[in-house]
Amino acid sequence: MIRIAGISCIYGFGGSVPMIRIAGISCIYEFGGSIPMIRIAGIGCIYGFGGSMRQKKNYGAIDNFRLAAAFFIVAIHTGPLQSFSETGDFLVTYCMGRVAVPFFLMVTGFFVLAPYQKFLGRTSERAEMAALKVKKFLKKTAVLYGVATLLYLPVKLYAKQWSENLGDWFKELFFDGTFYHLWYLPAVLLGCFLLIGMMHCLSPLTISLITFLLYIAGTAGDSYYKLASQVPAIKSIYEGIFGISSYTRNGIFFAPVFLWMGVLIANGKLEMDTRKAAIGLGASMAGMLGEGLLTFALEWQKHNSMYLLLIPVMFFLFELLLSMEGKSFGIVRDLSMCVYIIHPISIILVRGAADAVKMTDLLVKQSLVHYLAVCGASLALSFAAAKAMEWIKTRAWEVG
């Protein structure tokens, strides 16, 4: 048995199964042979590698949550409850809302990287299709990043945020993002490349430990930075890190663990019903809210993107969504992506319109009205963009 910060996991590679403990959560992962039972906070589950991917065809709840996650991201950049309560806004927006980005990372791990991991090293048509799917995703994300960068280039020039330093360009392009909300795109790209590399040379157990430890290191540079930096040697290390990346919520420390969680869940044989997943989510979310309040009150935070309990929160949230039936609306996928890309433009438009009609007090200073106005504008613009993308895809299919 291995114990790391209290979480218990068992990984089996055939024969006897060693125990690992990481943060109070008990898990069993099996990579061949019979499939043992997992216990996570008293909840029974099963993960098995070597069998087929989980046989679930209805991902309606996952698809529909994409839009909710996108609006959480809008909230993070507008602070909808600031006019009412700073503490309430912090808990809802900067604690609960932090599920948004890990959710999208887990979706990528679940649908894109999991088939690649499952068929890695095999020579079959399905293995080729899985590899092709990864290549298409990476290419599409890189193109999207380039388009989004060009879209916001005039805004950067107008705001005089253009950097002439080559080092700053490197920092923005690969870590911080070329605009403040675009950091996710280089993060998911870098995270995917790191995981793919690890898949080729490391065992699943080793990947799990590495991604978890990277996340812990990232958390020490995020919500716990003011505490960790009290040690001079640790402070020096993070100052070096911040020289190339303004935050640790990037493709090295933040993205890999959630991408890998998506892979583990997809390639596992999990038995968790809606009730148990909801209980686990409620308990872990309550713990994370407490963790957020503690680190905020003690002024430990450099940023507030990474919490220790965000890992179990995301596990139970994803399992809850997988356990739920729901109708999937195809447009939601493009719509959520467009809301994420476009919402800073909507913020600018709402502020400009409010100033033009002399309604700044209502449309800007009243935080909830401002948030709703930005969401409305983002949704309208994104719906038009998503419909245009849908039409382009249909025409391309017809021509092809």
* Confidence tier at 53 by pLDDT (50, 70, 90): low
| DSSP summary character for residue 364 | I
Residues 351 and 370 in one domain: yes
Q: Is residue 183 part of a domain?
A: yes
Q: What is the pLDDT of residue 6?
A: 40
Domain final position from 328, 356, 374: 328
Q: What is the pLDDT of residue 319?
A: 96
68-118 pLDDT per residue, tens: 999 999 999 999 999 999 999 999 999 999 999 999 999 999 999 999 999
Residues 290 and 336 in one domain: no
Across the strands, what pairs with 39? 44
Answer for the pair 21, 6: CB distance below 8 angstroms, yes or no. yes
Q: Is residue 123 part of a domain?
A: yes
Q: What is the pLDDT of residue 251?
A: 97
169-185 pLDDT per residue, tens: 899 999 999 999 999 99
Main-chain phi, psi angles of 121, to 5 degrees: 85, -5
User: Which pTM does this prediction carry?
Assistant: 0.86
238-271 pLDDT per residue, tens: 999 999 999 999 999 999 999 999 999 999 877 6
The answer on pLDDT for 316 being more than 60 is yes
Range of the domain at 47: 1-51
The answer on pLDDT for 384 being more than 60 is yes
In this predicted structure, which of 186-190, 222-226, 383-387 has the lowest mean pLDDT?
383-387
CA gap 134, 113 in Å, rounded: 7
| Residues 6+ away with beta carbon under 8 Å from 110 | 62, 262, 263, 265, 266, 318
Considering only residues 4 and 293, tell me which one the structure prediction assigns the higher pLDDT: 293
What's the total number of domains in the chain? 3
Helix (H, G, I), strand (E, B) or coil at 308: coil
The answer on pLDDT for 380 being more than 60 is yes
Residues 232 and 209 in one domain: yes
CA gap 362, 368 in Å, rounded: 9
CA gap 14, 26 in Å, rounded: 19
Residues 141 and 281 in one domain: yes
Residues 286 and 173 in one domain: yes
Q: What is the pLDDT of residue 166?
A: 84
**Percent residues over pLDDT 90 in the chain:** 72
Q: Is residue 158 part of a domain?
A: yes
Number of H helices, E strands in the chain: 16, 7
- Average pLDDT, whole number, for the chain? 87
Residues 258 and 204 in one domain: yes
Q: Is residue 57 part of a domain?
A: no
Residues 323 and 397 in one domain: no
Q: Is residue 58 part of a domain?
A: no
